[in-house]
Structure 1
Amino acid sequence: MTEAPDFLTATRTFYDAVAEDYSDRFRDLHAKLPWDRAVFALYAELVGPGGKVADLGCGPGRVTGHLASLGLSLSGLDLSESMLAVARRENPGIRFERGSMLELTHEDGSLDGVVSWYSSIHTPVEELPRLFAEFRRVLRPGGHALLAFQVGDEPKYHDRPWGHPVSLHFQRRRPEAMAELLTEAGFSVRSRTVRAPEPDLDEKVPQAYLVARAQA
């Protein structure tokens, strides 16, 4: 068996350690962020009722469950078994599996949508073309990808969150650079939204949301 790249191992170790605390901390986040809810509603309408969508890097399933409530057919994927345990507990009607976004088990063109909600931030920039090519592979022509990430050039370093003996870099991205990479992977970027940081949530930098359509 091929060993996982170091960044995948580091990401899995980090989230295995913090899963329960992370879930508790961000449980009600959508209720505080009308921007998120608006983007989700737009995305659900673009995909269409019953559309098959994979939430990639789903964590505790917060986004997965919300999108399912909007009428989409969701599945979730994550590296961390501890995160998946929370996701299955909180969303018993949704299928969750362990795996990497870089090696999806979905067949070519089998999905109507893919979501990477603050999960591509753990992928090194040199791996992003491969990641977006994999997104494009599993989407049917006309399917939609939704990405969210923090805006910036310098990574954020999380050290010993909630007292756990783990650390991880969170990469910030430039929307124009991400849009260019998506275009090169066979997408047409349909929406690019950047909002100001929300100080009540201790956000330090702007947040970006991209919606891209898979070209034929």
Structure 2
Amino acid sequence: MSADQPEFLRATRESYDAIAAEYTDRSADELAGLPLERALLAAFAELARAAAPADATPPPVADLGSGPGHVTARLHDLGLPVFGVDLSPRMVALARRAHPRLRFHVGTMTSLDLPDATLGGIVALYSVIHVPDGHLAALFAELHRVLLPGAPVLLAFQSGDVDERAHVAERFGHAVSLDCHWRTPETVTGHLRKGGLDVTARMLRAPGPGETRPRALLLARRPPAGPDDGDGTRTGSG
């Protein structure tokens, strides 16, 4: 990791490296108990296929904060060309072991090693919660940069009635240093719009078994290219 990257990235990487094995044991099949998330992944897959350029090889989609790789595998099962990106090298190693036929890379969603306008969609389930408020608009601008016009984004995050920040110093018996940002759907919607992404649907569900906070789920997209966009790109929303 580059020395000039923000401190929150180093702390998050080291924390998830420390808990990777236990986190994987508890999370690898969590989608089995999350019917709404499964339904939205299926809707995302349909939107990604609809937005893909006609008569061309389907563009890849990225699962950002891919962790154990279970969401990446679900997207693959839905027929999408997909790869996972995670900040934690240990998480990536475990995902590769569990899903050897899929691609996983170490990287950060805040600075993706990808050319402009190459992705057919992005999923980030419960992985933006460690990004501080001051970095959110830049994060979503980065997603805008790598997405093809019209390509969808699916976000999920723990939420509540107000924006809050909590610091976690221990998890699964390991010392960690994680700041968790609980945000309302309205707050994240505002940051998405600042990053040039249009929000197309919002949902807020009650906590399920073993959960303590409501879960927000947002569908967004990079705006489609308009007739005045000579290079096929747009920098604003709408």
Category of TM-score, reference length = shorter chain: over 0.9
Alpha-carbon separation, structure 2, partners of 1:112 and 1:102: 18
Q: Is the Cα contact below 8 Å between 2:59 and 2:118 reproduced in 1?
A: no
Within the candidate set 157, 174, 184, 1:174 is matched to 184
Task: Give structure 1 regions of 4+ aligned residues with deviation exceeding 3 angstroms.
Answer: none
Q: Report the equivalent of 2:143.
A: 135
Q: Report the equivalent of 2:171.
A: 161
Q: Does 1:36 align with 2:37?
A: yes
1:158 positional shift:
2.8
Alpha-carbon separation, structure 2, partners of 1:66 and 1:103: 25
Q: Report the equivalent of 1:148.
A: 156
1:155 positional shift:
2.6
1:53 positional shift:
0.5
Q: Report the equivalent of 1:189.
A: 199
Name the SS for the 1:140 alignment partner.
coil
Q: Does 1:88 align with 2:96?
A: yes
1:159 positional shift:
2.9
1:51 positional shift:
4.6
Within the candidate set 79, 84, 87, 1:76 is matched to 84
The residue correspondences of 1:2-13 to structure 2 (distance < 5 A) are 2-13=3-14
Note the alpha carbon deviations across 1:68-120, whole angstroms, 9 max, x for none: 11111111111100000111011111111111111111111001101111111
Note the alpha carbon deviations across 1:107-134, whole angstroms, 9 max, x for none: 1100110111111111100100100000
Alpha-carbon separation, structure 1, partners of 2:15 and 2:108: 15
1:156 positional shift:
3.6
Counterpart amino acid of residue 170 in structure 1: C
TM score, norm. by length of structure 2: 0.86
Bigger Rg, which one:
2
Same amino acid, percent of matched pairs: 47
Counterpart amino acid of residue 126 in structure 1: G
- Please provide the CA RMSD for this pair: 1.4
Q: Is the Cα contact below 8 Å between 1:55 and 1:114 reproduced in 2?
A: yes
Q: Report the equivalent of 1:102.
A: 110
Name the SS for the 2:216 alignment partner.
strand
1:167 positional shift:
3.2
- Between the two proteins, the alignment pairs up a number of residues equal to 214
Counterpart amino acid of residue 5 in structure 1: P
Q: Is the Cα contact below 8 Å between 1:148 and 1:209 reproduced in 2?
A: yes
Alpha-carbon separation, structure 1, partners of 2:175 and 2:195: 37
Counterpart amino acid of residue 127 in structure 1: H
The runs of 5 or more residues in structure 1 that have no matched partner are none
Alpha-carbon separation, structure 2, partners of 1:163 and 1:16: 13
| Structure in which a larger fraction of residues adopt helix | 1
